Amino acid sequence: MSAVQAVRSRPVLRRWLMVGSAAILWVALYSVNLPWWDWLVYDVAGLDEGSRLGSGVHFFFYDSVKIGLLLTGIIFVVTVLRSFMSVERTRAMLGGKREGFGNVLAAGLGVVTPFCSCSAVPAFIGFVSAGVPIGVTMSFLIASPMVNEIAIALLLGLFGIGPTLLYAGAGLLIAIVGGFVLGRLHVERWVEPFVFETRLRGRVIDSTLGLTWDDRIAMGVEEVGSILRKIWPYLLVGIGLGAVIHGWAPEDFFAQYAGADNPFAVPLAVLLGVPLYSNAAGVLPLVEALHDKGLPMGTLLAFMMAVVALSLPELILLRRVLKPRLIATFVAVVAAGILVVGYLFNAVLA
Amino acid sequence: MLIKILGSGCANCVNLERVTREAADDLGVVAEFEKVTDYADIASYGIMRTPGLVVDDEVLLSGRVPTREQVRELLAPLAPASA
């Protein structure tokens, strides 16, 4: 029996060989990305490395491929790992937990549970009708979009482990404290009454039961496809803007007007970030370019958090279950947390 | 057979309805389709991730769009024997 036949007759071996080859291909592409664009942009196309056009064009292509690869790899791995978790299991773990510890647990589970903010409303009703306190539910809803795999993947690739840990730690802290504060404010009175009247019928099914490894890998591949299809316009606009800033903006332009010594820079970054509906993929190339131009990390992380954690479409969805006063309080509490984090990082990292 | 598609009109719900109709056709099942878009109704089935597939008031699936074959396997035991 030849090696090919041996592989063909064993689907398990074939599956892991395919995953392994994909991983090797990924590493190879990632490591040739920089020399490849150096060669193509500077040597073949003959653009000057020091020129605005040259460095802008190089930034655009190199970053597009790098971010594309990072997203593909990390979304795949995270989706496969998360297929072992489910919202149903998370809810079961949070049911009956007290505030405080419950907030910590909810924020942590918000990071690892597969969840899309498009399901924020049914999840909110599901949590509350299962007896999870409102504040604990809020911790989950804040942490889930803020500390997501896309943000982590890109921060890690563009800024390294330090800023990534800072971002994740700060995001978790805001989710824990924010949810706790909302719980203390007894915001139940600002939840639409039908939420409390919702009775669960039938048995709850766990959508992850009975998944095989093949299913999980297929889910990973599908998720990579569906996320990339959804975010590529944001990504290209973000990288394009980043390239323009990278090539054309004067060296000290932003640092001069929005540097660490300007106390209004952080609030301004948050105010700009809330109405901007994008995601981490669209914002991070911009953040990277602005950081190169001397903007402090605290201001930039605050901007990014405001964009991903407070998005208008999600707030409009949540209006179905939350009264306007609760939405306003929610935004105020999270924005306050982001402000504190921004100032703190600017002070610590300066 | 009453098939309910739970979800607030997102792309996934449209896809789920399409594969479910195809699967029902494959099995020769005559089914009535109903869209459930009200959040309170959706949540009352215990579903926290849309889309959801409910057949004769039993939740079969939630949180992802299955393939046509998977829906066929789910529907087959529920199909009338005479079909």
Q: What is the ipTM of this complex?
A: 0.73
**Cβ–Cβ < 8 Å for B60, B74:** yes
pLDDT given at position A324: 93
Residue linked to tokens 């929005």: A258
**Cβ–Cβ < 8 Å for B42, B50:** yes
Helices (H), chain B: 11-27, 39-44, 68-75
How far is the C-alpha of A189 from the C-alpha of B9, rounded, in Å?
29
pLDDT given at position A136: 95
Quick one: A184 exposed, middle or buried, by C-beta within 10 A (0-12, 13-18, 19+)? exposed
- Let me know if residue A270 belongs to a domain: yes
**Cβ–Cβ < 8 Å for A134, A169:** no
Contact A129 B61 (CB under 8 A): no
- Let me know if residue A37 belongs to a domain: no
Contact B40 A198 (CB under 8 A): yes
Q: How many domains does chain A have?
A: 1
- Let me know if residue A36 belongs to a domain: no
CA-wise closest residue to B63 among A143, A88, A95, A110? A88
pLDDT given at position B83: 43
- Let me know if residue A256 belongs to a domain: yes
pLDDT given at position A178: 95
Which helix (DSSP H) or strand (DSSP E) does residue A151 occupy?
helix A149-159
- In sequence order, what are the beta bridge partners of B59? B54
User: How is residue A37 written in tokens?
Assistant: 């664009």
Q: Of B49, B58, B61, which to mutate for an interface test with A (greatest number of A Cβ within 10 Å)?
A: B49
pLDDT given at position A328: 94
Residue A234's domain comprises 56-348
Amino acid at A243: A
- Let me know if residue A109 belongs to a domain: yes
Residue linked to tokens 């984090």: A341
Answer whether residue B81 shows pLDDT above 80: no
> Dihedral through CA A133, CA A139, CA A141, CA A146, nearest 10?
180
pLDDT given at position A278: 67
pLDDT given at position A201: 65
Closest approach of B8 to chain A, Cα-based (Å): 9
How far is the C-alpha of A204 from the C-alpha of A226, rounded, in Å?
27
Distance, CA of A222 to chain centre:
18
- Let me know if residue A49 belongs to a domain: no
pLDDT given at position A202: 57
Q: Of B10, B12, B47, which to mutate for an interface test with A (greatest number of A Cβ within 10 Å)?
A: B47
Distance, CA of A249 to chain centre:
27
For chain A, say whether B37 makes contact (Cβ under 8 Å): no
For chain A, say whether B48 makes contact (Cβ under 8 Å): yes
The one-character DSSP state at A249 is S
**Cβ–Cβ < 8 Å for A66, A245:** no
**Cβ–Cβ < 8 Å for A113, B63:** no
β-pair type (B32-36, B2-6): parallel
Which helix (DSSP H) or strand (DSSP E) does residue B53 occupy?
strand B52-55
For chain B, say whether A129 makes contact (Cβ under 8 Å): yes
**pLDDT tens digits in sequence order for chain A, 350 residues long:** 566 676 667 778 888 899 999 999 999 999 998 899 988 888 888 888 778 888 888 888 998 898 889 889 988 998 898 888 888 888 888 887 888 899 999 999 998 887 777 778 888 888 888 889 999 999 999 999 888 888 888 888 888 888 899 999 999 999 999 999 999 998 888 998 888 887 766 555 555 567 788 888 988 898 899 888 888 888 888 888 888 887 777 767 777 777 777 888 888 888 888 777 667 778 888 888 888 888 888 999 999 999 888 888 888 888 888 999 999 999 999 999 999 999 998 888 76
pLDDT in tens, B20-33: 999 888 888 888 89
- Let me know if residue A196 belongs to a domain: yes
User: How is residue A22 written in tokens?
Assistant: 């994909």
Residues of B with a catalytic annotation lie at: 10, 13
pLDDT given at position A3: 67
- Let me know if residue A238 belongs to a domain: yes
How far is the C-alpha of A33 from the C-alpha of A39, rounded, in Å?
10
For chain A, say whether B43 makes contact (Cβ under 8 Å): yes
Q: Considering only CB atoms, which chain A residues are within 8 Å of B48?
A: 87-88, 91, 119, 122-123, 126-127
